[in-house]
Amino acid sequence: MKPHLPKLKGYSHTWQTTLMVMLMVLVSVALSLWFFWRSLYLPELQNHATYLAHQLLMIDKADKDFKNNPELKNWIINASHINVITDPQQIPSFQEKTLVDYFTKRMATQMETVMQRPVSVNFKFKPVPILYIQDSAHPDVWLQEPVKFYAKYSPTSIYFFLLGIPLATLLTILFLVRQLNRPLKRLQKVAIDYITLGHANNLATNEGSTEIRQVNLAFNRLFHNLIQTQKERNIMLAGISHDLRTPLTRMRLTAEMLPDEFLREGLVYDIEDMDAILEQFISFMKDGSDEAVRLTNLRPIINEIVVQFAPTPFIIDIQDDLPSVPLRPLSIKRLIVNLVNNACRYGQPPIHIEISIDDELQPTEQVVTDENLTPEITSKQKYLTIKVSDEGQGVAEDQLERIMQPFERGETARTTQGSGLGLAIVSRITHLHNGSVIARNQPNGGGLVVVVNIPIIE
């Protein structure tokens, strides 16, 4: 099971707008065709069918009433613009087509209504559009009429109307929407730069529409206020650290001079606990967002941590071809230190550290993630995976969901030193790198495993 990460789902604004407008265009074309058919073409088709029916009746009547006057009969036939075919060899083969068959049946129905007898109507497109009509009263005779009115509706013009206009509309919409979305793309880039790099360039406030200028101005002010707040927070933290550590140092010196060894050790233990808690508070508040991102080789960092926690035994597994990756090195070191410190305090050695580059997020069975993370995940994204585990008893299943939160500690950790901020600091630094942090117990009753996945910025 893959870890649950909130994803940015849905279509982009460009495609949403394009699809919406294209749907409106297609509906408009469909309604136009329906109006054209019902109001113009169908009445014309019915009128022409009525005209042909009367022509056939007139020719039939001329054939009966003017048998003894062939010249008059031929004049009537010629005046009707209809060719009479009696040679079966001149009748072409007809291939049924759904659309053509619909029109010819409409004409045949109208002609049968006028003539009061069955009529067969067929249509041939090539080489020129021609109607072939067979009167049931004269089954051996076919009447042929060139379809002159069809020339007004050439296939080229129909195809242009059905395909050309929607295609031209689509291209125009794409161009316009891309123009409209450019300010949003710039805004998105600035926001991502601020999140991933800790700083961003100001947005232009002297170009674009009034609304875009106002939004850019508001974001510039927001970024300025965030940076100013961050500076003030750093100054405040520096003051707190100095003001609190000075009396702690005096208390430590005083405690060291106490003659009672039992009392001295108890006070030193409490002072060290207070100093460690203060350090964790300050580390939690310093999220590292002001630290620059640069290519970082993790091997020296791991070596420093192993030396720092000596003589604790470690099992290190680092990918052989692990490249340098863009990170905030001090923040990442603090992240790994907190993971190792958590494993040393509440787990059992040896401590396992695994680092690799993966094409997909590391699968887990029981998952706990930081709900505030909202990275944009893509199928081609590569991840830096940092996995730290121990061989202790792990954490109760019902506590896995809480241990990533500030000031939350597992039941087995309540009797030891600590403030419950170690994994919260890990979560905060991971969030700073747009990553995800995952906690689970190892199978078969093993210790706790914490996996950090950080997307690599290409």
Q: Give the model's pLDDT for residue 317.
A: 94
The CATH class, in words, for 287-455 is alpha beta
**CA 335 from chain center: how many Å?**
31
Distances in whole angstroms, Cα of residue 376 to Cα of each of 192, 372, 457: 10, 13, 12
Q: Where are the domains of the chain?
A: 13-158, 287-455
Structure confidence at residue 212 (pLDDT): 82
What rounded mean pLDDT belongs to the chain?
Answer: 76
How is residue 261 written in tokens?
């060894």
Question: Position of tokens 């003589």?
Answer: 311
In sequence order, what DSSP letters do the residues of 90-104 get, joined into one string? GSPP----HHHHHHH
* Residue 324 to residues 180, 327, 339, Cα–Cα distance (Å): 38, 9, 21
Res 10: pLDDT: 55
Task: Tokens for 428, please give them.
Answer: 């905060």
Q: How many helices (H) and strands (E) does the chain have?
A: 11, 11
Stretches in the chain below the pLDDT threshold 50: 1-8, 363-379, 413-415
Residues facing residue 84 across a β-bridge: 143
- 69-84 as b/e, with b when 16 or more CB fall inside 10 Å? eeeebeebbeebebee
Region of 445 on the Ramachandran plot (φ > 0 left; ψ -120 to 50 alpha; else beta): left
pLDDT, one tens digit per residue, over 187-245 is: 888 887 776 666 778 888 887 778 888 888 888 888 888 878 877 777 777 777 767 77
Q: What is the pLDDT of residues 244-281, one digit of tens each?
A: 777 888 888 888 888 888 888 888 878 877 777 777 67
Q: Tokens in use for 120? A: 């067969």
Task: Note the pTM of the prediction, 2 decimals.
Answer: 0.51
pLDDT at 366: 37
